[in-house]
Structure 1
Amino acid sequence: MSFIQQAYLGKNDWWRYLLTFFLMLFGWQVIGIIPITVVAYVKAGNLGTFMEAAENAFAGLGINANLYLFLILLMFILGLYFLFLGVKYIHQRAFKTVITSRESIDFNRVIFAFLLWGGISILFFVLGYIAEPELYTWNFRPVPFLILLILSFTLLPFQTSFEEILFRGYAMQGFGLWFKNALMPLILTSVIFGLLHGFNPEVEKLGQIVMVYYIGTGLMFGICTLMDEGTELALGMHAANNIIAAVLVTSDWMVFQTDALWVDTSEPSAGMETFIPVFVVYPLVLVLFSKKYNWTNWKEKLSGPVLPIQIEELDKES
């Protein structure tokens, strides 16, 4: 049974997807907003009402950078937990089935992808620093950085896992049931993933052209998931990308404004660094993965039909 077919192991009425979506949204964007709003309300004494605090919570309002990061990540943790509840109790299937088609999660794959993409991200930074060192300001402060390091390696993976399991797992499988093929889920999840990142401040600064990077990244993660029959590689790469971004370099226009080692003081612009990862690095990474994990049947896995599994197979798996 392929990864995308595993949705057949649970109950798949349309209303179950709708209810799970709203349950996840409730945990992520309703309950999750309460802690950061309370902190914003306490910190900003000039705000007259709690509703005003809610409207301004995501501006930071003088909140310590590490506390702010923790509160933001808490929202994603709650979103992941409520998605877990929806899959387990509304769809009535094991949560593992939206993560991998293997008997258990392959953490060796997660670690390999993490190290690979972490190394590539650091290399890109080093090359940028060598080319224009004047654009980077050393920002190391031992205590805040140590706290940031702990938060990044313990909580940031929940944020990236939430996004990967939601898009490359739950949504990919759900769209597979709907369209009965793999290509439309791959395209839709990649585009939706990119469009949701359109709310990031980077898009306002860099322009809509940066959506090429976000959609291209979603497409690459989706290809990895379909070809490898699980989200492990995407989980590792996404975690590495965000952790390196959080601890290595920050700026006043990035979504994560942290106590990173360096501050990027350059004027934001969308140059070749937007296109090189998508059109050069991602294909090379896919080739590497394909060789390491012996990927075959590309056409079938990326665009083939998603057929209902046989009843005997369903009974065996459930």
Structure 2
Amino acid sequence: MYIEQAYKGLSESWRFILGVFVVFGAWQIFGGIPLLVALIAADAAGTLVTGDLGSMSEALGSNTFLFLMLLTFAIGLVCLLAYVALVHKQSVTSLTTSRKKIDWSRIFYAFGLWASISIALIFLDIWLAPEDYAFNFKLVPFLILTAISIIFIPIQTSMEEYFMRGYLMQGLGILTKNRWFPLVFTSLLFGMLHIFNPEVEKLGYGILVFYIGTGFFLGILTLMDEGLELALGFHAANNLTAALLVTADWTAFQTDSVYRDISNPVLGWDVLVPVFVIFPLLLWLFSKKYKWRNWKERLTGKVLTREEFLSQENG
């Protein structure tokens, strides 16, 4: 009963509605101040040519820009957890999982599994189409990138998971008293929030199939496993491998990675295969490992009232 864990804190509707605006506003305003100050300084020095990601990354240096961009998520996560603790009086554990304590083995298993698959797929593509990649490795920038990525990318992905699949999933479930609406809403919202990524401008709106599909995959993981642990591990592995191994001039992460994708980007099978082949296979694998049952009830069933939940907890 992951959604019902919200009842372990104060769960009135106004707290969730206010929380969305307070947390998102604080995340965007306070989180963006360091990056904004750096960009203003770069503009004053004449090194910032345009306002696109590539120009900002070049003006500040790719590692500095990545650090400041990821710092916004760190500040956002602090704001979210502070609001949950102070206004909802809810613990981090109940925001994370229905288990008595956070299951770190689940996080590491999902991380290791998806990191291994991602690395294999990346190097397979490099082997199949070496003309699409340029070796980009520079030791010192890469070491700095690695340090920044290992520390801050899991924070970035955790902010997205705790806000989307955690706070919003629980809040919408409590408000609507069902599971399907928060699953659909958070998945669509997760996809649509990527609409401003440079990948969308380059590849077109078809790329949103991947982002929305990923949102559904992570939402299903959360509801079926009754906790965020698998989603936290998967998301961190996905972004970390992308940042360290391959970059391109048209992606959100422009880093000093090992390889640079120099191909002319097109919307192809690499968007559809993860959503319609790999993700379903991963769900099957997780379901076998963790013995998931009652798919329909967990994904579309009703959410208990506070009284029903507390009665079961005390029963």
Same fold (TM over 0.5): yes
Residue 62 of structure 1 aligns to a residue in which SS?
helix
Residue 44 of structure 1 corresponds to: 43
SS, match of residue 194 in structure 2: helix
Determine the C-alpha separation between the residues in 2 that align with 1:88 and 1:315: 24
The aligned residue for residue 160 of structure 1 is 157
1:182-201 map, 5 Å: 182-201=179-198
Deviation at 1:185, TM superposition (A): 0.8
The equivalent residue for 1:12 is 11
Aligned in 2, Cα 1:285/1:315: closer, same or farther, shift over 3 Å?
closer
Residue 29 of structure 1, CA deviation: 0.8
Percent same amino acid at aligned positions?
Answer: 47
> Matched residue of 1:263: which SS?
strand
SS at match of 1:45: helix
Contact 2:97 2:228 in 1 (8 A): yes
1:125 aligned residue: 122
**Runs of at least 5 residues in structure 2 that lack an aligned partner in the other structure:** none
RMSD: 1.8
Q: Which residue is equivalent to 2:250?
A: 253
Contact 1:8 1:314 (C-alpha < 8 Å) held by counterparts:
no
Could you tell me whether the CA contact under 8 Å between 2:4 and 2:309 is conserved in 1?
Answer: no
Contact 2:206 2:267 in 1 (8 A): yes
Letter in 1 for 2:170: Q
Aligned residue in 2 for 1:31: 30
User: Residue 156 of structure 1 contacts residue 242 of structure 1 at CA under 8 Å; is this kept in 2?
Assistant: yes
On the 8 A contact 1:20/1:86 being kept in 2, the answer is yes
Write out per-residue CA displacement over residues 99-120 of structure 1, whole angstroms, 9 at most, x where no aligned residue.
1111111111000100111111
Look up the equivalent residue of 2:127 and give its one-letter code. I
> Is structure 2 residue 299 aligned with structure 1 residue 307?
no
Matched residues in 2 for 1:237 and 1:146: separation? 23
Relative to structure 2, which stretch is displaced further, 293-302 or 3-12?
A: 3-12
Over 3 Å counting, the alpha-carbon distance change for 1:161 and 1:304 in structure 2 is same
Q: Distance in 1 between matches of 2:17 and 2:129?
A: 49
1:68-217 alignment, distance < 5 Å: 68-217=65-214
Equivalent residue letter for 2:246: V
C-alpha contact 2:198 2:250 (8 A) present in aligned 1 = yes
CA contact (8 A) 2:13 2:175 kept: no
Give TM-score, length-normalised by structure 2: 0.94
Map of 1:50 onto structure 2: none
**TM-aligned CA distance change 1:197 to 1:167, over 3 Å:** same
8 Å Cα contact 1:160/1:235 also seen in 2: yes
Distance 1:151 1:271, change over 3 A: same
Number of aligned residue pairs: give it. 310
Structure 1 residue ranges (4+ consecutive) displaced by more than 3 angstroms after TM superposition = 55-59, 309-312, 314-317
Q: CA–CA distance in 2 between the matches of 1:222 and 1:300?
A: 14
Correspondences of 1:215-230 after superposition (within 5 Å): 215-230=212-227
- Per the alignment, residue 236 of structure 1 pairs with 233
Distance of 1:314 and 1:250 partners within structure 2: 52
Which position in structure 2 is the counterpart of 1:21? 20
Q: Which moved more, 1:230-239 or 1:20-29?
A: 20-29
1:9/1:314 contact within 8 Å kept: no
1:92 alignment partner AA: K
3-state SS, counterpart of residue 199 of structure 1: coil
Compute the displacement of 1:199 (Å). Answer: 1.2
Assess if the C-alpha contact under 8 Å between 1:36 and 1:57 holds in 2. no
Tell me the CA shift for residue 177 of structure 1: 1.2
Deviations 1:187-228 (A, max 9, x none): 111000000011111011111111110010010111110010
Question: For the residues of structure 2 that align with 1:265 and 1:246, how far apart are their CA atoms?
Answer: 16
Provide structure 1 residue ranges, at least 5 long, that are not aligned to the other structure.
48-52
CA contact (8 A) 1:248 1:261 kept: yes
